[in-house]
């Protein structure tokens, strides 16, 4: 998913349909500022990293303890993010290497509104 093609006021939210938890949200506020929130779990369901809806830390890479790449945010807004999203029960919901994406049964996506409050 590219980060530079977001229209102001839009969002994409990846939801674990088994628990209803929002795993990853990519949004743009009314001024067009890119915002990101996540709850990243590993394949055992352990929480590895989380972030409230805020401007993304460009150049961030998050790995699980076993070495799985969970999230990569490119160093600039023109790049694509890569992710491997697990639910809190350890089930693989989706992954993307930036070029192709696989979606599994327990992923639900929404593209309207924001559900996490921006920090700061």
In a domain, residue 112? The reply is no
Range of the domain at 34: 11-107
In a domain, residue 38? The reply is yes
In a domain, residue 75? The reply is yes
In a domain, residue 1? The reply is no
- Buried residues in 90-118 as b, exposed as e (16+ CB within 10 A): ebebbbbeeeeeeeeebbbeeeeebebee
Count of domains observed in the chain: 1
pLDDT tens series, the chain, 120 aa: 666 666 777 888 999 999 999 999 988 888 878 888 999 999 999 999 999 988 877 889 999 999 999 999 888 877 888 999 999 999 999 999 988 999 999 999 988 554 444 444
Q: How far apart are CA 63 and CA 29, in angstroms?
A: 28
In a domain, residue 86? The reply is yes
pLDDT at res. 114: 46
pTM confidence score: 0.84
Q: How far apart are CA 29 and CA 83, in angstroms?
A: 22
In a domain, residue 115? The reply is no
In a domain, residue 5? The reply is no
DSSP annotation string for 79-92: SB-EEEEE-TTS-E
What separation in angstroms does the CA of 50 have from each of 32, 39, 63, 70?
Answer: 23, 4, 12, 11
């Amino acid at each position: 998913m590219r980060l530079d093609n977001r229209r102001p006021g839009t969002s994409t939210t990846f939801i674990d349909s088994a628990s209803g938890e929002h795993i990853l949200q990519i949004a743009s506020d009314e001024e067009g500022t890119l915002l990101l929130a996540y709850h990243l779990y590993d394949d055992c369901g352990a929480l590895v990293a989380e972030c409230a809806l805020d401007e993304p830390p460009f150049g961030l890479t998050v790995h699980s303890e076993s070495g799985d790449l969970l999230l990569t945010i490119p160093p600039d807004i023109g790049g694509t993010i890569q992710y491997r999203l697990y639910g809190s029960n350890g089930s693989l919901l989706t992954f993307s290497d930036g070029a192709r994406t696989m979606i599994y049964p327990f992923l639900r996506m929404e593209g309207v509104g924001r559900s996490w409050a921006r920090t700061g």
